[in-house]
Amino acid sequence: MKRALPILAVLVVLLTAIAVVNPFFLEPAGFLAFLKRAAPLVILAAGQYFVIVSGEFDLSVGSLVTAEVVIAARLIDGDESATWPVLALLIAVGLLVGLVNGVVTTKLRVPSFIVTLGMLLVLSGAVFLWTGGAPRGALSEGFRAFGRGGLGPLPWSVLILLVLGGAAIWLMRADFGKILMATGDNERAAALSGVRVDRVKVFAFMLSGLSAAVAAILLGGFAGVSAQVGQGLEFSAITAVVLGGVVLGGGRGSVLAAMAGAVTLEALFTLLNLYGISGALEYTVQGVIIIAAVAAGVIRLPRKSTPRRGDAHAAS
């Protein structure tokens, strides 16, 4: 919780700024609509967090999301009865892609940057090879309900986000989280203390694949079927995780902060929209803020985390 404080402070400032311009944002409906839009990225960020904290990267999530949505549309093709089997299949595909990423990274000793880059090419090539270049078919209403509908006033996607977010926090508090953190911090030390490093990392990649599958289900319902649905999501997810103060290279950072980073990124987009900054300049502002946030985090973090606080002060 303590590590999540800086990003939560930034988030509160951004949310306040949004509320000043757009009072509707303060009403439950307005805020829930915002959370609904943010849910896929937050879930992706949680998945990416597990991989990053174990010291690896997952660049394949963006094309995995696209692949999942395209697969769902082609297999369901408007047929309501196919909804549940296809949902199960999507989850299985997500886990399988994560399994392959993890096994190739750990057993063949290929850097995960390359493994998941290869997976990105394979997935985006294979899925359009299968559908002949453009997405085909349609999603069923039952499928789209997850991204669009809700239980009374509560959107399903927010409920799913709460459940998965809770599960992620629980997982990091359980033994698995401690082992994962140890692996990312110092793989060799963890291995010598009896951690099955390979298995832990494979599991982290599978969690990332699972989160991509869930994000695809939500995005498919929310945004519809297109070949661009997952474009750039891998970079957004990594950015969100890093914004939350998680260190690339592994071993530092909390999952709550990573998810808060994703909400912050989404709030930033909303705010830029409200202030009427044109679509393109949004990227520029995003770039500046990411660098600034990470730089600020790096400058502040060592003083907080090192026990020798006096040294840091003496040096500065």
Partner 1 sequence: MDLRTRVRRPARRSRAHGGLAAHLREPTQVVFLALLGLVAVGWALVAFDGGQLLTMESVVGIQQRSAALGIVAIGQTLVILAGSLDLSVAYLISLTSLVAAEIMAGQDGNIWPAVTAVLVISSLVGLVNGLVITRLQVHAFIATLGVGLIIKGIVDHLYDGPAGEVPASFQVLGYSRVGPIPVSAMLWAGVAVVAWFLLSRTRLGYRIYAVGGNEEVARLSGVRTARVTVITHVLCSLCAGIAGLLLAARLGAGTPTVGTDGGYDLESIAAVVLGGTALAGGKGGVAGTVGGVLLLAVLDTIFNQLEVNSFAKDVVRGVVIVIAVAVYARRGTRRSA
Of the candidates 154, 155, 161, the residue with the CA atom closest to the CA atom of residue 215: 161
Q: How far is the CB of 119 from partner 1 (least distance, A)?
A: 7
Beta bridge partners of 151: 154
| CB-nearer residue toward partner 1: 149 or 249 | 249
Buried b or exposed e, range 156-169, using 16+ CB within 10 angstroms: bbbebbeebbeebb
How far apart are CB 242 and partner 1 at their closest, in Å? 5
Beta-carbon contacts of 183 under 8 Å, excluding residues fewer than 6 positions away, are 54, 55, 190, 195, 197, 200, 201, 250
Give the nearer residue to partner 1 in terms of CB position, either 102 or 155: 102
| Nearest approach, Cβ of residue 281 and partner 1 (Å) | 5
Distances from the Cα of 163 to the Cα of 156, 219, 260, angstroms? 11, 17, 15
* Token code pair at residue 108: 């063949």
The DSSP line for 236-251 is: HHHHHHHHTTPPTTSS
In the bound state with partner 1, the residue whose beta carbon lies nearer, of 164 and 187, is 187
Residue 153 or 276: which CB sits closer to partner 1? Answer: 276
For partner 1, which is the closer residue by CB, 33 or 117?
Answer: 117
What minimum distance in Å lies between the beta carbon of 249 and partner 1? 7
43 to 37, 135, 309: CA distances (angstroms): 11, 24, 35
The residue (of 65 and 87) whose beta carbon lies closer to partner 1 is: 65
Rounded least distance, CB 173 to partner 1, Å? 27
The residues binding partner 1 (CB under 8 A) are 57, 59, 104, 108-111, 113-115, 117-122, 124-126, 128-129, 133, 235, 238-239, 242, 247-249, 278-288, 290-291, 294-295, 298-299
Nearest CA to 55 out of 93, 139, 111 is that of 111
Helices in the chain by DSSP H: which ranges?
A: 5-21, 28-53, 61-76, 83-107, 112-131, 141-148, 156-173, 175-185, 187-192, 197-223, 233-243, 255-274, 281-305, 309-315
DSSP one-letter code for 133: T
Of the pair 213, 242, the CB lying nearest partner 1 is at 242
Q: How near is the Cβ of 152 to partner 1 at its closest, in Å?
A: 39
Which residue, 104 or 263, is less far from partner 1 as judged by CB? 104
Residue 151 — φ and ψ, nearest 5°?
A: -95, 100
Smallest separation, CB 310 to partner 1 (Å):
21
End-to-end CA distance of the chain: 27
Tokens of 311: 């040294």
Q: Which is nearer to partner 1, 24 or 275 (CB)?
A: 275
Nearest distance in Å: CB 272, partner 1: 11
CB of 289 to partner 1, least distance (A): 8
Our measurement of the distance from residue 81's CA atom to the centroid of its chain's CA atoms, rounded to an integer in Å, reads 30
